[in-house]
Amino acid sequence: MIDWNRAADGYARSFAVMCAGAAPALLDAVGPVPAGGRLLDVGTGTGTVAGAAAARGWAATGSDGAESMLAIARREHQGVEFELGDVLALPNADDSFDAIVGNFSVNHTADPRRAVAELVRVAKPGAPIAFTTWGRPSALVPLWQRVIDESGAARVPVDRILAELDFQRSEAGLLALLADGGAEPVEVVEIEWEFAIAPEGLWAAAPAGVAVVGPIYRAADESTRAAMRTAYDRAASELVAEDDLLHVASSAWLAFGRAPRTAS
Ligand SMILES: C[S@@+](CC[C@H](N)C(=O)[O-])C[C@H]1O[C@@H](n2cnc3c(N)ncnc32)[C@H](O)[C@@H]1O
């Protein structure tokens, strides 16, 4: 699994920019803010969704398992509450929140069903629960593939969720995940957005150890790392638009359900 504490700075500069594109859809899914509404953003990372929720009027709490992520979140979103919390064993009391969101976090836990069960447990009866996960292969895969091929870097085994605990990245798979976690499934939709990022920012994913390229970069020796960087610079220079940014099309699944009406 990714060492998120070590990844935080590089993640903030790279994939946090990509993930931010899903925040409006997640917050739209959970609907209008009830009076005094409390929202929990699990696996908040650098706090993007919790910050956006607070801007919409939610009393937002962001929780994450990595202190380094929380340090960035607290710096960037002052006035939002951030706390250490494992999605698989949240520190919050039962029936605490009026809405729960998780942006690309449930899929990063070792046991996504247990994660959904925790979201249900801390949600008030009937509260909306929405989370995202990746669907179609990222448009960045060809770029990382080129970096790996041109540098000759060796692939490394990818850490995956144990097969018996994993879920299908499909509409049916996510509806089943909601139901298996004890939520009332409502719908699963595919969302799309485009994000723009400077090549230097996206490259930060490699030393941070995230994305396809991260674990390979981290396992490589110094000369291979240099070759990867050279290959990346060459590829990125060919892909940037006139504004010197990479424009990347992204898509994800958004799963939406509700906590059961009777208290959990
Ligand atoms: C891909 S990042 C997404 C961060 C953020 N939601 C965003 O949209 O940028 C995944 C986050 O989930 C957190 N995470 C992974 N497993 C976790 C767990 N079991 N408990 C709490 N946080 C976890 C990581 O620390 C990381 O911040």
In terms of CATH, what superfamily is 4-137+160-194+249-258? Answer: Vaccinia Virus protein VP39 (3.40.50.150)
**Is 8 close to ligand 1, i.e. is its CB under 6 Å away?**
no
Sheet with 38-42, strands from edge to edge, namely: 81-84, 59-64, 38-42, 99-103, 128-134, 246-258, 184-197
Residue 1: predicted pLDDT: 75
pLDDT digits (tens, 9 = 90+) for 30-52: 999 999 999 999 999 999 999 99
Mutate to test the pocket of ligand 1, among 1, 17, 64 (most ligand atoms within 8 A of CB): 64
**Torsion over CA of 253, 259, 260 and 264, rounded to 10 degrees?**
130
Query: What residue's CA is closest to ligand 1, atom 13?
Result: 43
Q: How far apart are CA 235 and CA 229, in angstroms?
A: 10
**Is 87 close to ligand 1, i.e. is its CB under 6 Å away?**
yes
Residue 102: predicted pLDDT: 98
Task: Give average pLDDT by consecutive 10-residue segment, the chain, 264 residues.
Answer: 92 97 98 98 98 98 98 96 98 98 97 98 98 92 96 89 92 97 98 97 96 94 98 97 97 98 66
**Is 45 close to ligand 1, i.e. is its CB under 6 Å away?**
yes
Query: What length does the chain have?
Result: 264
pLDDT digits (tens, 9 = 90+) for 225-263: 999 999 999 999 999 999 999 999 999 999 999 999 975
Ligand 1, closest atom to CA 66? 25
Ligand 1, closest atom to CA 110? 19
Domain boundaries, the chain: 4-137+160-194+249-258
Mutate to test the pocket of ligand 1, among 3, 4, 9 (most ligand atoms within 8 A of CB): 4
Closest CA to 73 of 83, 58, 85, 86: 83
Strands 99-103, 81-84: parallel, antiparallel or unpaired by DSSP?
A: unpaired
**Is 48 close to ligand 1, i.e. is its CB under 6 Å away?**
yes
Ligand 1 centre to CA of 134 (Å) is: 13
Residue 222: predicted pLDDT: 97
